[in-house]
Amino acid sequence: MISLRSVSLLYPNGVRALDHVTLEIAKGEFVFLVGHSGTGKSSVLRLLYREIRPSSGEITVDGIRVDRLSSRRVPALRRHLGVVFQDFKLLPDKTVWENVAFAMQVTGAPTREILRQVPRALDLVGLSHRSRMYPDELSGGEQQRTAIARALVNNPKILLCDEPTGNLDPANTTEIVDLLLRINLKGTTVLVATHNQAVVDRMRRRVVRLENGKVTTDKERGYYYLGLGQGQVLSG
């Protein structure tokens, strides 16, 4: 579903954000991308939704060669992807319903389809009762659930999350992580970049660790660890 082959990313200022990263993610997998800030987690996600292009290497997302994708075809790629951010990126002057519908409206979806899909997405994230509220009337967790509903409303095959719990307290974090798991169980491939240890430990999913732009460990059902040597695990 997602494939990176020897991908390097060099910023114009000479910083090497990614250094020959190779990564395969199968359909339906749930993968954590972990590492300290500035180790290239976000860069990997931004490469996948073609916010940026790699300096070298091959990137394939759902059969599309993203590294070679022309700007004109980027919208088509993004309709296959849902993206969620730490800061939610909701529109403050639109209600929950409107925020979710927005993703369909701006891609030209027919009204009938919008009326069918938005309630389904809101139901999935458990926000049907909040659909008329504005983002600033919601808790952080509810705002992130709105953002997730928006990311899912177009039925993407892949959900990319960049620090989705970064702004949330532990209770809300749990709520979001459980939601992501449920989404994954419905068949969506989920890739989560995070440095939140509790999240990773709770889920016991595949963990890919990035250090200085390189993949240092890639473990099935791994645990998060901080400041330890390569391959070491904090707890059983």
Partner 1 sequence: MDWGRVRFFLGEVARGFTRNAVMQITAIGTVAMTLLLLGAFLFIRTTIADLGNGMLQQIEISVYLTPDATPHTIAALRASFHADPRISTVEFIPKAEGLKELRARTRGVIDTSLLTENPLPDKFRIRVRSPQLVPAVAGELRRLSGVDNVVYGQGVVERLLRLDTVLQRIGVAMIALFVIVATIIISNTTRLAVYARRREISIMQLVGATNLYVRMPFICEGLIDGVLGAAVAIILLVVVHATLWPRLLDALPFVQFNTAVVDVPVLVLQLFLVGGVIGTGAAWISVGRHLQT
Q: CA-CA distance, 63 to 45, in Å (whole number)?
A: 17
CA–CA distance, 228 with 52 (Å, rounded to integer): 31
Q: How many residues does the chain have?
A: 236
Residue 87's DSSP bridge partners are none
In the complex, minimum distance from the CB of residue 157 to partner 1, in angstroms, rounded to a whole number: 13
Single out the residue of 117, 143, 144, 154 in contact with partner 1 (rule: CB under 8 A): 154
Residue 78 interacting with partner 1 (CB under 8 A): yes
Tell me the per-residue interface mask from 111 to 140 with partner 1, x by CB under 8 A, - otherwise. Answer: x--x--------------------------
Binding of residue 155 to partner 1 (CB under 8 A): no
Taking CB under 8 A as the binding criterion, the range among 7-15, 102-110, 116-124, 174-182 that sits at the site for partner 1 is 102-110
Based on the shown chain and the rule CB under 8 A, indicate whether residue 143 belongs to the binding site for partner 1. Answer: no
* 14, 37, 63, 72: which one binds partner 1 (CB under 8 A): 72
Handedness of CA 65, 70, 76, 80 (dihedral sign): positive
Pairwise CA distance, residues 154 & 151, whole Å: 7
Using CA atoms, how far residue 152 sits from 11, 121, 218, in Å, is 31, 7, 27
Q: Which stretch binds partner 1 (CB under 8 A): 27-35, 70-78, 163-171, 208-216?
A: 70-78
Q: Is residue 68 a contact residue for partner 1 (CB under 8 A)? A: no
CA distances for 229 relative to 20, 42, 216, 218, angstroms: 21, 23, 10, 14
Residue burial 146-165, b: 16+ Cβ < 10 Å; e: rest: bbbbbbbbbebbbbbbbbbb
State the binding string over 25-54 for partner 1 (x if CB under 8 A, else -): ------------------------x-----
CA–CA gap between residue 208 and residue 125 (Å, rounded):
26
75, 155, 170, 232: which one binds partner 1 (CB under 8 A): 75
Residue whose CB is less far from partner 1, 9 or 103 = 103
- Binding interface with partner 1 (CB under 8 A): 49, 71-72, 74-79, 81, 83, 89, 91, 102-103, 105-108, 110-111, 114, 150-151, 154
